[in-house]
């Protein structure tokens, strides 16, 4: 997908790393979402993380709505919403 376009993807959370932001000392996370075709990094910023953090556990199947972004020449997704099945 094109950078900045909105996507909805589903998969299994294979890894989840939680961070505390330096500026606001709020929680955010980096996930790796995997499906049969591969995996992609998903960034969950603090405002969204606060709402959906109970869903963000390894091996959980989730659907993520977000924006395609690029960091260091690799595509990732900036999550706007996370749903469970």
Q: Nearest 5°: CA angle at 61, between 39 and 20?
A: 75
Strands 74-84 and 6-20: unpaired
The answer to whether residues 58 and 14 touch, using CB atoms and an 8 Å cutoff, is: yes
What pLDDT is stored for residue 21 in this prediction? 95
> Per the confidence metrics, is the pTM higher than 0.85?
yes
Cα 70 from chain centre: 13
What pLDDT is stored for residue 1 in this prediction? 63
What pLDDT is stored for residue 72 in this prediction? 86
Q: What is the pLDDT of residues 15-30, one digit of tens each?
A: 999 999 999 999 999 9
Q: What is the pLDDT of residues 27-82, one digit of tens each?
A: 999 999 999 999 999 999 999 999 999 999 999 999 999 999 998 889 999 999 99
Backbone angles phi, psi at 52, to 5 degrees: -110, 5
């Amino acid at each position: 997908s094109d950078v900045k376009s909105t996507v909805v993807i589903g998969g299994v959370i294979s890894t989840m790393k939680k961070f505390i932001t330096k500026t606001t000392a709020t929680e955010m996370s980096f996930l790796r979402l995997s499906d049969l075709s591969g995996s992609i990094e998903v960034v969950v910023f603090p405002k969204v993380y606060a709402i959906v953090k109970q869903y963000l556990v390894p091996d959980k199947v989730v659907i993520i709505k977000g924006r395609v972004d690029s960091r260091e020449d690799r595509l990732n997704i900036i999550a706007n919403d996370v749903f469970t099945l």
